[in-house]
Structure 1
């Protein structure tokens, strides 16, 4: 039994904490943390969403402006997270912030959502991107995509179970390949002129009536999503939790510059109309500049970018499961931290099993792939908004605690962040179908489960 003071009240958590499994050690360096954060954010989305953004902006100037605005909104959110993660450094990340602000029930609900919807769903979706591509190169039958996706999840989960050094080392290697490959796309877009014959085969979109800047921002911010995962490594940062501020700021700046360069290269090579009409803008760019060899190269880059995101998602997702097991007796096995490998092995294992179950489900319901995207989005933005509100709550509830970093221009800055999250929550419900309702239903099951295990 352990008494832990949270805010102005004392809450009792029943969990086992053997001496050999006490706390994670601070082994993650700043460069590792930046590689993890940027690796999560910069995934295959940057080679998919520009066409949707172009169709909803209608001009090159607006097209680039919304990407710049997306970076600015993300930076504002990162500053809010910087205050929370430096003031309350904890392996649980958002889970810990929500625990202190809103109590055990709400934190449990968030951990349940991460375990059953947000993180595992993201891992399965990302794995299917790789599976779909590899099955085009080498098909082994009807379930090729599911097989390759499962192999990716099993391999990366095993690597992270070997220890934090293996996990972060793999992340840096994947990130290096991804970063170099993305820069190659930029160079090709700027310095290799498209072949007129190849360019003429690409369709042109009608941009007389672009749909909505707001819808474009939905996809831009979704492409920027993932930087909040930095909160889960704040307690493991070797240089101390105060260094989370430069980690978050540098990560967002790198991501923003990279996205602007990539989209500028798309504009230079294809033009706004062809970007808007493209179903795979990265493939179209490489096809008109380097031909079919370029198509193969962009496929490899998409695989590397997705592998980077999956590895980082597995790494951070297990930290929430560990925090859940640490604080609730029924999940005590998840709360065991292996000091030898400095990793939550049981939490990684359960996360991998759930992700594999979702991959198997996807193998039998291929139309469910898009539904799985819908499945995660509303729940994700709901808890993102809740974390923004938690900043206001904790400023009042724990006003006397030392804050190494305070978000600038408070309360305007966090209000902008909360407003952005609220808009994206609305949009994720308005533009999605049955998948969103399934996600809400699974979240509701978590509420019932909490009262059962109480």
Structure 2
């Protein structure tokens, strides 16, 4: 180990790649069907997807101001700790890490399933391929921050090109491939519109990917540009892909599809569509997994440094927090093997929504409490963006509780129990 400081070796290109690579994935290939089922109106669908990007940008105001002014790794952990103290920060960090750890396992399993569809899995069982995928990404991250960042930049660029090619293929389809005149459905209820938007909001999750690397970007302005340019690119892809799919499918056809992009591609590309969409999916999954195995260790690293846990707070010469990386990779691999990641994902949604609320409130608290703190970027119209996004995140958390009260209660209880066990241990170690 060379110390407890990460290396400032990342630039704006990586910040954009962290947002694009961590956001555009399987969600946009599946979610349009759920949205069309709730809101069978083409124009309203597109407006909702555009609104999702705008709200992500508003939500980003809190995160970007905190990340550039505090300048520490760990994302929400660092923000909430600064505003409310180490225990609250630990709760936010653990909720963030555990919730996303389930996603690591899920993504690895889905990747293995797509490889199986291509017949490129060597006949190995899906859990084994999942673990091998995590191991391969672990090895890349182990080499150092520069190598991992370069791979992420290349992968995200390839993914962007593939999605643009898909949009172009659908948008310029002619003849029989073009959808008939869309038939509007019945009245759209407020509940249905809210349900559709909640699915859209979840698809945009990942827009905060660059904030976890605030300590490693060479200039705070790179985080600002990377985050907002990344959100703009993601929004353009999401709106553009939905518009292109509506060119070849009606809202009613989209509503009955579980993989809308594949069905739309099938109408244009025919038998080649399955292979094309599998390749797009594989690239998307690789880039998302790459980002997650970069930022999740930064959460553990920040927690380790904050509580003086040297085993987690060590950084190798290449800039990788290797112990935190190993803990993350092992945790994700175990979940992929035993299959409990779905339970963790179900637990995580309400916790992650509450973490979002905490970040929005933290932005207001830190601005009020530390007016002299150097802020390379300030949210406009303070505190309106934080209040608006905080209200949305709180509404989502409440919606998750109402929709599945048993799982939500179990998640909150499990988090409280975990904190009750961990906090005394950490304080004892700190005294030692």
Category of TM-score, reference length = shorter chain? over 0.9
Where does 1:7-406 land on structure 2 (aligned, <5 Å)?
20-115=2-97, 117-138=98-119, 144-193=125-174, 195=176, 207-210=185-188, 212-238=192-218, 240-329=219-308, 331-338=309-316, 340-362=317-339, 369=342, 371-406=343-378
Task: Look up the SS of the partner of 2:99 in the other structure.
Answer: helix
Runs of 5+ in structure 1 lacking a partner?
1-17
How many residue pairs were aligned?
423
Rate the CA distance shift 1:433–1:209 in 2: closer, same or farther, 3 A. farther
1:415 aligns with 2:415: no
Q: Distance in 2 between matches of 1:142 and 1:424?
A: 42
After superposing the two structures, state which structure 1 stretch, 123-132 or 254-263, moved more.
123-132
TM-score w.r.t. length of structure 1: 0.88
The answer (yes or no) to whether the contact 2:304–2:313 under 8 Å persists in 1 is yes
Contact 1:372 1:435 in 2 (8 A): no
Equivalence for 1:14: none
- 1:3 counterpart residue number: none
Q: Any gaps of 5 or more consecutive residues in structure 2?
A: 428-432
Q: Say whether residues 1:443 and 2:415 are aligned partners.
A: yes
TM-score calculated relative to the size of structure 2: 0.92
Given that residues 39 and 308 in structure 1 are in contact (C-alpha distance below 8 angstroms), is that contact kept between their aligned partners in structure 2? yes
Name the SS of the counterpart of 1:266 in structure 2.
helix
1:428 and 2:400 correspond: yes
Q: Structure 2 vs 1, CA of residues 146 and 433 (structure 1 numbering), >3 Å: closer, same or farther?
A: farther
In structure 2, do the counterparts of structure 1 residues 427 and 142 end up closer, same or farther at CA, with 3 Å as the change threshold? farther
For residue 215 of structure 2, give the secondary structure of its aligned residue in structure 1.
helix
The answer to whether the Cα contact below 8 Å between 1:70 and 1:221 also exists between their aligned partners in 2 is yes
